[in-house]
Structure 1
Amino acid sequence: MKIVITGANGLLGRHVHLYLRAQPAYREGLVLLDRHAFQDDAALMAALEGVDWVIHCAGINRDSEERVEQGNRELAERLVEGLSKTAATPHLFYANSIQRGRDVPYGRGKQAAHRAFAQWAEGCGAHYTELVLPHVFGEGGKPHYNSALHTFCHQLAAGDELAINGTGQLELLHAQDIARAVVEAFERAQSGELRLEGRTMSVASAAGKLIDMHRSYTSDVIPDLRDPFDLQLFNTLRSFLYPRYYPKALTLHSDDRGALFEGVKNRNGGQAFLSTTKPGITRGNHYHFNKVERFLVVKGQAVIRIRRLLDDHIEEFHVSGDAPAYVDMPTLHTHSITNIGDEELLTLFWSHEIFDPEKPDTYFEPVLNPEASN
């Protein structure tokens, strides 16, 4: 199956890509188009030739009013032109917005794009699904661009004061929830309007939640994550703290009896275990979509390596049992820990949830050899 994702470098496009990439049934046929590909006839035609499924996430949110309105319409018209020239009739998904009905440049541009897609689908008999989306958030969002939520996370991580619009309202939906809904709709061949609902709250309430989470986390207490929405908020916040916040040193209490430190404090339980690792051996080489996971070396010397998915850059954190410090693994980053000492390594691993073999949320990918899993 051939699947084209437009806007694959943006917040939603990246999350859709990563979600599909983790599914064995879909990962082999993925074709990614950025905005530049729309200006390259050969690249666009090659991508659309024989395509089964198009997920159009590309769009323009911030620019001049004229560019926002015309740009969103032109992207749709260019895509329709390419589909018509290749005679492709894929199931087309369009990431539209709840702002589509507003008489503003963004709303008019998004609605014009929808009309172009609907007309194309009617003319060739293709499946067309209009995704009507609220405010999208998630790891990798840009401050002052995607959502006020990302701006708040950025400001908290930087130690800045939050600028809060006390009267504003948000309807928040995580990008992974959208990716999941897209796959489900495709598998049941759903056409027409698909309005996805998020969590509605005031801007002030959203900011307050993030402030409380940040205050708790920076005091070494994991906040309550039993609500999946709160887990998504927390993982988004953590993505702005990484990598500068880590490794986070713990207070070591020592006396003539020995030493003590508090490895994990949290408000909702979870699962912890200890493991030993022989010199030169590596554990891990996997990533998670939702799981909060902590590595804490109790004895020995280790290097923790973390690489953002689809990226080559690797962060390295050298940690030691002599100076206890934890590193919490960011979601959508593959990670590993290697014993670089001469003695056995003893490590405490903790996650916010008890491991479920039916839903492990653990996906293999080497940190040091990304080509092996692309």
Structure 2
Amino acid sequence: MRLAITGADGFLGWHVRVLARALGWPRPATVTRADLVDPAAVAAAVKGADVVLHLAGVNRGDADDVVAGNVEPARSLAEGLRRCGEPPRRVVYANSVQAGNGTVYGSAKAAAAELLATAAGGDHEFVDVRLPNLYGEHGRPFYNSVVATFCRLLADGAEPEVREDRELDLVHVLDAAAHLTGTTLQGPWDPAMPALRTRVALLRDRLAMFAGVYAGGEIPPLRDRHDVRLFNTYRSHRFPERGPVPLPRHRDARGDLVEAVKAHGGGGQTFSSTSRPGVIRGQHFHLAKVERFVVLRGRAQINLRRVDGTGTVRFAVDGSEPAFVDMPTMWAHNIVNVGSEELVTLFWTNELFDPARPDTWAEAVDRPGRAAAGVA
């Protein structure tokens, strides 16, 4: 699938790029903000694409900014599509359920949809997807969603305030990405976009419970897929500031005992590995799986890089002072034995390993490349 994306650096755009990475699709072409002021540049960027995803837009701001930030990019994309000598088969617009509701934002989203629908004509299919509230990893607080705002406040030790206890339908952003791209492949995503219906106060209490249990290094109860994804969203706001977390060591005449994982409401799967000096394990990322590393003997370095990012986070860990590091979702990670003796590492995941759906996508931390399903 050859994708071209507007708004590729935004919250939804990044998750679309992560999904494309996991599926092994070519790197999406991006239509930048600079391109969107030049229809000729737009035409060049979308030429040859199978699908154009129009994700660019403005959620918040004064009325003029909201109107301009949604209507003008759509107008420029529409003109670029008209000029394109090799137009895409399909144009998909990430619209909102608020479109046409009479608000400034809703009216701007509806106007953008009309511009794109008119430009489609008979050259390509136009798909208008009205998305509900999206949440997920690395959302922007006070902008993308109330989930991101609550997670940021809780991560900072503040208590979120509920100003209006209304009902919400929440969809994980990776499910929205799967729906927009039309993928039929199975994985840790659901293109049907199953929604969590909740109230704002209940959402706040649920996230506060996660934060309270996780503050002590314990894993909260993860009863369903939304619990897992909400917990992963909260964890994304704790990383990388929360690095290796020391574990209590109980020592007596018999030796040492270290409590590596305490999971409330579920067991998951625990396994261990040994690694010779210089050996690298990992080199992959997960989309939904919660995974913990604990070095019990030897010295290691844990390296992480956000998918499609460039900066690398590195943690030194030593079995003489056991600590856990939880792998954030959508970050490529590995563990390297940097010592002179055998490395013994304990791993825990919140789910049993399923070879048919491993949620393990190969990607080198220090050599960004095309991802493919596999287990390291």
Q: Distance in 2 between matches of 1:166 and 1:208?
A: 14
Residue in 2 that maps onto 1:171:
169
Partner AA of 1:72 in structure 2: N
Q: CA deviation at 1:39?
A: 2.0
Aligned to 1:190: none
Contact 1:131 1:196 survives alignment (8 Å): no
Q: Name structure 2 gaps, 5 residues minimum.
A: 186-190
1:37 paired with 2:39, answer: no
Residue matched to 2:188: none
Instruction: Assess if the C-alpha contact under 8 Å between 2:39 and 2:79 holds in 1.
Output: no
Match of 1:22 in 2: 22
Local SS of the residue matching 2:105: helix
Question: d(CA) in 2 for partners of 1:167 and 1:3?
Answer: 39
1:182, distance to aligned residue in structure 2 (A):
2.4
RMSD of Structure 2 on Structure 1 (CA): 2.0
- SS of 1:4's partner is strand
Residue of structure 2 equivalent to 1:191: none
Equivalent residue number for residue 262 of structure 1 = 259
Richer in helix (by share): 1
Amino acid at match of 1:296: V
Secondary structure of 1:154 counterpart: helix
Measure how far apart 1:226 and its partner are: 3.4
Q: Is the 8 A contact 2:21 2:371 kept in 1?
A: no
Distance 2:330 2:274 in 1: 26
Report the residue type matching 2:19 in the other structure.
Answer: Y
1:125 Cα deviation from its structure 2 partner:
4.8
Counterpart in the other structure of 2:212: 215
Show structure 1 runs of 5+ residues with no match: 188-193
* CA contact 2:293–2:326 (8 Å) conserved in 1: yes
Please tell me whether residue 124 in structure 1 is matched to residue 122 in structure 2.
Answer: yes
**Aligned residue number for residue 354 of structure 1:** 352
State the shift of 1:358 in Å: 0.3
Q: In the TM superposition, what is the alpha-carbon distance from 1:257 to its structure 2 partner?
A: 2.3
Deviation at 1:197, TM superposition (A): 5.6
CA–CA distance in 2 between the matches of 1:113 and 1:348?
A: 52
Stretch moving more, 355-364 or 167-176: 167-176
Confirm or deny: 8 A CA contact 2:39 2:76 kept in the other structure: no
Q: Aligned equivalents of 1:45 and 1:180: distance in 2? A: 25
Asked if the contact 1:133–1:197 (Cα under 8 Å) also holds between the matched residues in 2, the reply is no
Change (3 A) 1:98 1:174: same
**Equivalent residue letter for 1:219:** G
Q: Deviations over 1:257-296 (max 9, x none)?
A: 2221211111211111111000111111100000111110
Q: CA deviation at 1:372?
A: 6.8
What is the match of residue 320 of structure 2?
Answer: 322
Report 1:1-374 matches (<5 A): 1-24=1-24, 27-28=25-26, 30-87=28-85, 88-121=87-120, 123-184=121-182, 198-266=195-263, 267-370=265-368
Deviation, 1:195, is 9.3
Tell me the amino acid that sits aligned with residue 181 of structure 2.
V
Moved more, 308-317 or 62-71: 62-71
Kindly provide the amino acid, as one letter, of the partner of residue 178 in structure 2. Answer: R
CA distance in 2: counterparts of 1:197 and 1:73, whole angstroms = 29
Preserved contact between residue 34 and residue 58 of structure 1 (Cα < 8 Å): no
8 A contact 2:40–2:80 mirrored in 1: no
Task: Tell me the CA shift for residue 90 of structure 1.
Answer: 2.5
Deviation at 1:50, TM superposition (A): 2.5
Deviations 1:336-363 (A, max 9, x none): 1011111100000111111000001111
2-side partners of 1:32 and 1:346: how far apart?
43
SS of the equivalent of 2:218 reads: coil
- Provide the C-alpha distance between the structure 2 equivalents of 1:351 and 1:244, rounded to a whole number of angstroms: 21
**Which secondary structure state, in structure 2, belongs to the residue aligned with residue 327 of structure 1?**
strand
User: Structure 1 residue 228: deviation in Å?
Assistant: 0.5
Map Cα deviations across residues 92-127 of structure 1 (whole Å, 9 max, x no partner).
111111111221111110000111122223x22521
Structure 2 distance, partners of 1:37, 1:201, is: 39
Identity of aligned residues (%): 41
SS at match of 1:8: coil
How far, CA to CA, are the matches of 1:259 and 1:43 in structure 2? 64
Contact 1:295/1:348, CA 8 A, preserved across alignment: yes
Q: Name the aligned partner's letter for residue 8 of structure 2.
A: A
Task: For residue 159 of structure 1, report the CA deviation from its aligned partner.
Answer: 0.8
TM-score (norm 1): 0.93
SS at match of 2:98: helix
